[in-house]
Amino acid sequence: MAKVSFTPNIQRHVACPETEAAGGSVREVLNNLFARNPRARAYVLDDQAALRKHMTIFVDGQTIRDRVRLSDPVTASSTIHVFQALSGG
Amino acid sequence: MSDTLLVSTRKGLFWVARKHGCWEIERADFLGDNVSLTLTDLRSGRHFAALDHGHFGVKLHRSTAKGWEEIAAPTYPPKPDDLEENDMWGRPLAWSTARIWALQAGGADESGVIWCGTLPGGLFRSTNHGESWEMVRSLWDHPKRKQWMGGGADLPGIHSISVDPRNSKRIWIAVSTGGIWFTEDAGASWTQRGEGMRAEHVPPELTHDPIAQDVHCLAQCPAAPQRMWVQHHNGIFVSSDEGKTFTEITGVEPSTFGFPVVVHPRDPDTAWFVPEIKDEKRIPRDGRLVVTRTRDGGKSFDVLTKGLPQSHAYDVVYRHALAIDATGDRFAFGSTTGGLWVSEDQGDSWTNVTHTLPPIYAVRFS
């Protein structure tokens, strides 16, 4: 399962501890993760389930390319970071 | 008579209370966070606070006996894959709550009903004290909704919601920009209101089109709902027929430009405004912060200055930042430069509570 960690800044609004979740794409991993932590969903994704404008996700050090469908591939050994972009502050 | 103010600011929600005749800051909640608006539902005693976390989106909180709890924020329905809808800048319009810009309790006979207006133009209704929200599709799907445009913000938004005290199914909303809209069947169908308003910022053929009007704030007199006051982008307008037709009020010193308007709860001829120079110069004239008040339906105005800074004051008062309590005697307003003033004599004199708050977005009596 992929390892997922979140920006520290989200923690004071909703607890998002480092965790592991299964899935072959960013979407699948996040869906599985948010099923266990439903409040976190709206902090990361917008009303259309796309990545929020000023959020960014790295998979194994690479920024994801598909911010709308979150189709970027993930492997069982991947590390995912859900971060804030520096913009939008 | 209310002894408590909720002051929404860029950096938190401040509770200001009257104690021993003095108003002082009693408590701060959500310190460091952007609080855009509050609602106190007098039917249930609950408070609601809208937050905008920027990166993390718009959130809504509700008071409980133990403190605040996060509840569902209004969420736009899925945008159909094959729908091409762009904003006025040609960019794809995101069907996503960009700001909560209006919160209004439903009628006295419909406990739990709350209305919420948002950017980019969605109106939402809750029937369970904000536990869940449903978009009013009849308005969002109205073909003319796509003619709404951004005003102060890049996207259009609903900032004023007025529920008829005689019949809770009759509701007026105001849009910047998009004019005034009215339903008499609790939102099942909508008609445009607002003939007689005049927009200076559009081509001549659109000047008198009700949908082109940039209403900054709409205030309805609770005791005489046929009377409505509008602070508009280029003037002050008044209606005596529930917003069907408006008459422009001209010749008001120092200006008819501004954002907020409030009307006395029992006297429809009495209303208050906070003027700025004009749209392209949004500061008080000559650095003098004043409130204007009419007591005769707009025929004449008092310029109220006692207790307000009259030199080098550059306070701007946003549309939700002027409040009147249920008695019509107490007032408060807050400014973009963090000043908060209270009046207990209908604006004849003002007391400064503080001038060091963060930028103030909204002031409401609890």
A17-70 residue pLDDT tens: 999 999 999 999 999 999 999 999 999 999 999 999 889 999 999 999 999 999
* Domain region containing A26: 2-84
- Residue A61, chain B, CB below 8 Å: the answer is no
pTM assigned to the model: 0.95
Domain annotation covers residue A89: no
- Residue B80, chain A, CB below 8 Å: the answer is no
**Chain B residues with CB-CB distance to A47 below 8 A:** 75-76, 94-97
Domain annotation covers residue A37: yes
* pLDDT value at A89 more than 50: no
B207-244 residue pLDDT tens: 999 999 999 999 999 999 999 999 999 999 999 999 99
ipTM of this complex: 0.89
Angle at B52 between CA A17 and CA B91, to 5 degrees: 105
CB atoms A10 and B96 under 8 Å: no
B14-41 residue pLDDT tens: 999 999 999 999 999 999 999 999 999 9
CA A62 – CA A78 distance, rounded (Å) = 11
CB atoms B95 and A47 under 8 Å: yes
Q: How many pairs of residues across A and B have Cβ atoms under 8 Å apart?
A: 42
- Residue B76, chain A, CB below 8 Å: the answer is yes
Q: What pLDDT, on a 0 to 100 scale, did the predictor assign at position B188?
A: 97
Q: Pull the structure tokens for residue B239.
A: 């209606």
In this structure, what CATH number is given to the domain that contains residue A37? 3.10.20.30
- Residue B57, chain A, CB below 8 Å: the answer is yes
**Chain A residues with CB-CB distance to B54 below 8 A:** 54, 88-89
Q: Which segments in chain B show pLDDT lower than 70? A: none
Residue from A39, A43, A46, A52 to probe the interface with B (highest B Cβ count within 10 Å) = A46
Angle at B70 between CA B68 and CA B73, to 5 degrees: 135
Averaged confidence pLDDT in chain B: 96
* pLDDT value at A86 more than 70: no
- Residue A47, chain B, CB below 8 Å: the answer is yes
Q: What pLDDT, on a 0 to 100 scale, did the predictor assign at position B281?
A: 82
CB atoms A13 and B97 under 8 Å: no
CB atoms A47 and B96 under 8 Å: yes
Q: How many independent structural domains does chain A possess?
A: 1
- Phi and psi of A21, rounded to 5°? -150, 150
Q: What pLDDT, on a 0 to 100 scale, did the predictor assign at position A87?
A: 56
Which of B53, B55, B79 shows the shortest C-beta gap to A48? Answer: B79
Tell me which residue has tokens 């598909």: A66
CA atoms within 13 A on the CB side of A81: 12
Domain annotation covers residue A69: yes
- Of all residues in chain A, the one with the smallest CA distance to B69 is A13
